[in-house]
Structure 1
Amino acid sequence: MRLRLRLFEFEDLPWFPTVIRAGMMDYLRFMISALGTYRPIAPLLAEGLRRTSQTTVLELGAGAGGGTETVWRALEAQGMSGIRITLTDLYPQPAAWADIAERTQGRIGHESASVNALAVPSHLPGFRTIFSAFHHFPPEAAEALLRDAVRAGTGIGVFEGAGKHWLELLLACTVLPVAQLLLTPFFRPFRLSRLVFTYLLPIIPLCTIWDGSVSLLRMYSTHELLNLAHSADPAGLFEWQAGKKHHWWGPQVTYLIGWPKK
């Protein structure tokens, strides 16, 4: 799919109800974690951490932290013991993050204050990552996000849990909504509001269908990702690579990763 449309997503709107956004993020976290969406990029991230001698991953736009535990465990399997992850977002999700912190004995922590990914505070170090969220940024903002990482001299990895294919768009409109209706009662932590706005007033699944479809249409291709990286780093201070990683069972992850040259 070469088409890229700059449509809106509900979760980006400042006035969008927090309870609905949280319900959508809970679903995304559950599905990404259950499917191990980002497990294939663990070797790439491990290489970035080794190249930059980092022991902390700073996750930008973390949402509800979907897939973060999977990535952390995959990094440990890559021999990266002792790695810590800090979750941040413009719209923090402290309740969801506290649940993750408890399950990982504090190895995955969070920043409670709102964090703008285009201007990350200096007191938040680490190899920067952004999962399933880079498409939210229009080109100017996406370039600024990468430029801020270059300016800080830290590595950065951009990962989208799709390969941008028409089949994925079809799944987002058909199979995945059915899965959401079947699995919602099993999401943790439990929220009564999630049940109300899924079954009585199905606002969460309807907004999820829209945002999931638009996400695919807004995704950058690997060529566009590299162009953004080179524009953000005109002096060539970073080494950049972009591509796609495959799961053994089919799905793809589109990525851009870069770190300072030695």
Structure 2
Amino acid sequence: MKFRLQLFEFEDLPWFPKVIRAGMMDYLRFTISLLRIYQPIVPLLREALVRTGQPHLLELCAGAGGGTEGVWRSLRAAGLPDVRVTLSDLYPQPAAWQLLHERTQGGISFAPAPVDATAVPTGLVGFRTVFSAFHHFPSAAAEAMLADAVRQNAGIGVFEGAGKHWYELLLAWLVLPVVQLLTTPFIRPFSLSRLFFTYIIPLIPLCTIWDGTVSLLRMYPPAQLLALARRADPEGQFQWQAGKVRNPLTRSEVTYLIGWPRVTEQTPAAARPRRGYLAT
């Protein structure tokens, strides 16, 4: 699918019940982590962190933090033992984030206040990542997010856990709802409301099916991602690349855009990578 439709998703609506949004986010976190959806992008992130000398990931639009722990552990195993992650979102999920914080002994922390990904507070530093969320932003807001990273000289990686294929719509309609019904009792932290709105009044699975379908239709393919990056960075201050990588376990694809500041003779010394700051 090369086209893009800007339809609405329930989880984007300010009035959408928090308990339903949290249930959807918990399911996505569980599934993404279980299937290790984002493992194929670990080499891309490792290269970006080494090139920028940045030991810290700032995850924007983190939702419930799906896949973050697996990526963090893989980066540590790949020779970056000091890497840390800060989770942030416009709609913070502190209950889910606290679980990750405890399991990683503080390797993953979080910003408890709402964070606008298009205007990140200067006090929140790190190489920015966006997992499974960039499609939520219409082109003007998506461009603003990238422009804010360029303006603050912060590298950024955008990752979507799909390749934008028609068969992925069938998975969203026929397979993933069954997986959701089978796995919900095993999702932690345990929640009676999640069980109620999954099995008694099934708002969580119904809204997940709708949002999953719309997510695929709203995704930016690689060519559009690069076009957004060029508009956000008209002076070419960043090095950008976009494409798709395949997960060998699930055969699914991850669509990505990643960029980091170019180092030139005019780059201020304070903004240059600190060589040796990360183990390579």
TM, length-normalised to structure 2: 0.93
Deviations 1:174-233 (A, max 9, x none): 100000001000000000000000000000000000000100000001000000000000
Counterpart CA distance in 1 for 2:247 and 2:140 is: 31
1:74 deviation in Å? 1.2
Secondary structure at 1:25's aligned position in 2? helix
Q: Report whether the alignment pairs 1:111 with 2:128.
A: no
Provide the residue aligned with 1:246 in structure 2: 246
Provide the residue aligned with 2:9 in structure 1: 9
Secondary structure at 1:86's aligned position in 2? strand
1:76 deviation in Å? 1.2
Provide the residue aligned with 1:172 in structure 2: 172
- Partner amino acid, structure 2, of 1:109: S
Deviations 1:117-151 (A, max 9, x none): 00000110000000000000000000000000000
Secondary structure at 2:260's aligned position in 1? strand
Secondary structure at 2:59's aligned position in 1? strand
1:68-107 to 2 correspondence within 5 Å?
68-107=68-107
Provide the residue aligned with 2:44 in structure 1: 44
- Partner amino acid, structure 1, of 2:104: T
- Partner amino acid, structure 2, of 1:261: R
Provide the residue aligned with 2:137 in structure 1: 137
Which piece of structure 1 moves more, 195-204 or 75-84? 75-84
Secondary structure at 2:241's aligned position in 1? strand
- Partner amino acid, structure 2, of 1:42: V
Counterpart CA distance in 2 for 1:3 and 1:123 is: 37
Counterpart CA distance in 1 for 2:231 and 2:120 is: 19
Secondary structure at 1:174's aligned position in 2? helix
Secondary structure at 2:256's aligned position in 1? strand
4+ runs of 1 displaced by more than 6 Å? none
Counterpart CA distance in 1 for 2:213 and 2:35 is: 19
Counterpart CA distance in 2 for 1:196 and 1:39 is: 32
| Structure 1 alignment gaps of length 5 or more | none
Provide the residue aligned with 2:261 in structure 1: 260
1:77 deviation in Å? 2.0
Secondary structure at 1:236's aligned position in 2? coil
Secondary structure at 1:159's aligned position in 2? strand
Deviations 1:84-135 (A, max 9, x none): 0000000000000000000000100000000000000011000000000000
Counterpart CA distance in 1 for 2:186 and 2:262 is: 45
Deviations 1:55-101 (A, max 9, x none): 10000000000000011011112111110000000000000000000
1:3 deviation in Å? 2.5
Counterpart CA distance in 2 for 1:123 and 1:165 is: 39
Secondary structure at 1:256's aligned position in 2? strand
Deviations 1:34-56 (A, max 9, x none): 00000000010011111111010
Secondary structure at 2:149's aligned position in 1? helix
CA RMSD, aligned part only? 0.5
| Structure 2 alignment gaps of length 5 or more | 264-280
1:248 deviation in Å? 1.0
Secondary structure at 1:240's aligned position in 2? strand
1:165 deviation in Å? 0.4
Provide the residue aligned with 2:23 in structure 1: 23
Secondary structure at 1:113's aligned position in 2? coil
Counterpart CA distance in 1 for 2:185 and 2:259 is: 39
Counterpart CA distance in 2 for 1:178 and 1:248 is: 23
TM, length-normalised to structure 1: 0.99
Provide the residue aligned with 2:277 in structure 1: none
1:182-201 to 2 correspondence within 5 Å?
182-201=182-201
1:10 deviation in Å? 0.1
Secondary structure at 1:128's aligned position in 2? strand
Identical aligned pairs, as a percentage? Answer: 68
Aligned length: 262
